[in-house]
Structure 1
Amino acid sequence: MEEARAQGNEIIDSYRDALEKVLQDHKVEAQRQSEIRIKTETINAKQQINQSLAKAQLDLKREQSKIQQDLKDKIFKETLELVHDYMKSADYPDFLIRCIRDALTFANGSSMTIYINPSDESLKSSLEEATGTQLTISTEDFIGGVRCVIRDRNILIDHSFKTQLRDEYDKFLFSGGDGIA
């Protein structure tokens, strides 16, 4: 009887040890899976935060770009108004005369066509008298200034306000104050 009890106790102890081992293995596996799940969820949360942050930054950049474009358009609208005011001033015909004389000097006797803007037609005779050269009224409105063509040398001398304004508009950037344009 004692031998049977000892064997029974031995079987129970070995079964208990086996169950304890299974329990320990299960605890270790559950802990490992829990840590993996926590890491995975942490990574997912960080990715969601990064995506939200990137989207917000993109939205901010779009809004900033739109505002800068609106401001740029306003600035150049005001600039165009200032150009029109300048064209009404007494300095404007002197500017045209200087441009024409510079073109004549550059042409150095080559045949050349000098165009003035249609809005400057009233100045044509006084400009021709002051420069001693014949001027042509352009069919294209280039806001103001002059354009000169030296055909035999394929040269365009462009002192038009339209071209100068467009060039400045294309080059214009807002400085972000922190070195970002």
Structure 2
Amino acid sequence: MTTEEKLKHFMDVTTQKVNEENAEALEEYENGLNKVFEDYKENATRRAELSLKLKEESLIKKKNAEVARRQMEIREETGRLQKELTEKIFAEVKGKLERYMGTGDYERYLIAQVRAAKDFAGDDEILIYIDPADIDKKNSIAAAANTTVMVSKYGFGGGIRAVIKSRGILIDQSFETKVKEAAEGFVFHL
């Protein structure tokens, strides 16, 4: 084998060896890049899913907050309207009571209430009061019920009040109290 042939053979073997090493290194490099790329894709997918989940949760929280805010507004508006309607209803009730107080039925009602209070007291002393607005009915009520009737110093919207001191009892049949109790117990059913 000549030197040239030896050199060519050496060159071929060396080139083949270098090409094999280069191919092996290139394959390792490609495998490394592929692994890095797969890891990157996996992390990017995980981050994207997490970001999407966080955005969904944020939107749900915002929606829930908006729903809660709107429900509160509706409750406040409903409460305001109920209060307004209740005030109108009881203003109408008071107007009807005032008209009723100008009738003979009202005077008969007062006489019946005075008699009922007197019967309840039995033999105990009872002080019976009528509203100052009913002063014109005092004598006829006292005569019809056969008892003493006094005019209260304080207005109570009609009706009667009576006191049985010996038993510590207040009989309150005043319209003011009845309207107040009705208003406190009044509930709208929607």
TM-score normalised by structure 2 residue count: 0.91
Question: What stretches of structure 1 of length at least 5 have no aligned partner?
Answer: 177-181
Give the alignment's Cα RMSD to 1 decimal.
0.7
How much has 1:64 moved relative to structure 2?
A: 1.0
Partner residue of 1:161 out of 175, 186, 190 = 175
Question: What stretches of structure 2 of length at least 5 have no aligned partner?
Answer: 1-13
Q: Which has the larger radius of gyration?
A: 2
What is aligned with 1:12?
Answer: 26
What is the number of residues matched between the two proteins?
A: 176
Separation (CA, whole Å) in 2 of partners of 1:62 and 1:95: 41
Deviations 1:72-128 (A, max 9, x none): 100100100000000001101110010010011100110111010000011111111
Separation (CA, whole Å) in 2 of partners of 1:73 and 1:4: 101
Partner residue of 2:160 out of 127, 146, 157 = 146
Q: Which amino acid is 1:160 matched to?
A: S
Moved over 3 A (4+): none
What is aligned with 1:133?
Answer: 147
Deviations 1:148-179 (A, max 9, x none): 00011011111100000000000111110xxx
Identity of aligned residues (%): 32
Deviations 1:40-69 (A, max 9, x none): 100100110111111011101101110111
How much has 1:139 moved relative to structure 2?
A: 1.0
Residues 1:41 and 2:55 aligned together: yes
